[in-house]
Amino acid sequence: KAVNTAVDLIVAHFGTSRNPDVKAKLGNSWVSPNVGHLILKYLCPALRDVLQDGLKAHVLDLIIGQRRCQPWSVVEASTQPGEGGGGPFHAVGEGRVSEAFV
Q: What stretches of the chain adopt beta strand conformation (E)?
A: 58-61, 65-68
Which pTM was predicted? Answer: 0.55
Q: What is the average pLDDT value for the chain, to the nearest integer?
A: 77
Single out the residue of 72, 92, 69, 68 nearest to residue 82, CA to CA.
Answer: 92
Given pLDDT bands bounded at 50, 70 and 90, which one contains residue 100? Answer: very low
CB 10 within 8 A of CB 53: no
DSSP 29: T
Residue 64's pLDDT is what? Answer: 79
**pLDDT category of residue 102 using cuts at 50, 70 and 90:** very low
Q: What is the pLDDT of residues 28-69, one digit of tens each?
A: 999 999 999 999 999 999 888 887 777 677 777 778 788 777
Please give the share of the chain, as a percent, with pLDDT higher than 90.
Answer: 38
Can you list the positions of beta strands (E) in 4-77?
Answer: 58-61, 65-68
